[in-house]
Amino acid sequence: MKISIVIISLLCGLHAAGEEKGWVSLFNGKDLTGWTPKFKGYDLGENPKDTFRVEDGLLQVRYDQYESWGEMFGHLFYEKPFSHYILRVEYRFVGEQVQGGPGWAWRNNGVMYHGQSAESMEKDQSFPVSIEGQLLGGDGEKKRPTSNVCTPGTQIVQQGEVIKAHCITSTSETFHGDQWVTAEFEVHGSEKVIHRVNGEVVFEYEYPQADDGTLIEKGTISLQAESSPIDFRKIEIKELAVESAD
C-alpha cells in the first residue's frame, strides 16, 4: 500500500511538472531586473516616489510617498517584446487609493500587451499604444468583472466587426476584497487573443490593430501604476509555436 501511494505521488508530481513545462518567470521575486519604468512627465528609467518596488517577494505598486495623485500615470515595461505566448499573472488589490486618484481608477490596474516600446513614448504620454488586459477589483457589492479589454490607440475585432469602444467588459465574475486572482492572456500574434480568469475563458477577440487598421503582430508587455495599490506575486510567460500557413 505504501509503495502504491509513493508511485501515485510521483506520478502526480510528474504530471504537475509537465503542466508547467515551457513557463518562464519574468519576475525574479527579488528586484526589478528586466523591467524599466516610464512615468508621465519623467524620463525613461525614473521611478518617482519608489512607486514600483519589490518587497516580501512581491512586485508592488505603492503610493505611500505621494501627497496626492497628480496624474502620474506610470508603466513598468519588460525588456523584450513578444508575439505568440500565454502571459500569466497572479495579482491582488490592497489598501486605499491615493488621494486625488480618479474614480474610474479605484482598484484598477492593467497588463498592457502588444504595446509600443518604452523608448518611443513621449515624455508627457499617459499610456502606451497597446492592448490592455484591464484588472479590476470589486467594492463588496456591485458587479465589476475583471480581465476586460481597453484599447489606448488601438482597436479589436469581434464577430467580424471592428470594435472602437475604449473598454469592453468580459464575462468574468467579480473579485471583492484583497483575494489573489490569476489572469492569463493567450496571444496569437495578430490573429487571436483569449483572456482567462482562474482558468475560465472570459473574453475572446481577433485582429488586434492600431487605430488605422494596421495589424499588431508583436509588442511590449507592461504593468500599470494609475493610483491604486496592487501586488503581483507571479508574472510568467509561455511562448507558443507559430502555426505554419501550409
Range of the domain at 156: 21-239
Reading the block at residue 6, the C-alpha cell is 509513493
Answer yes or no: is 40 within a domain: yes
Answer yes or no: is 100 within a domain: yes
Count of the separate structural domains present in the chain: 1
Answer yes or no: is 4 within a domain: no
Answer yes or no: is 136 within a domain: yes
Is the pLDDT reported for residue 18 higher than 60?
no
pTM of the complete model: 0.91
- Residue from 138, 64, 129, 51 nearest 96 by CA: 64
The pLDDT score that the predictor gives to residue 7 is 43
pLDDT tens string 204-229: 999 999 999 999 999 999 999 999 99
Reading the block at residue 98, the C-alpha cell is 491615493
Split at pLDDT 50, 70, 90, the class of 244 is low
Answer yes or no: is 3 within a domain: no
Average pLDDT, the chain: 93
Answer yes or no: is 12 within a domain: no
Residues 110/224, Cβ–Cβ less than 8 Å: yes
Answer yes or no: is 217 within a domain: yes
Answer yes or no: is 10 within a domain: no
Amino acid occupying residue 105: A
Check which CATH number belongs to the domain holding 224 and give it.
2.60.120.560
Per DSSP, 4 falls in state: H
pLDDT tens string 120-150: 999 999 999 999 999 999 999 999 999 999 9
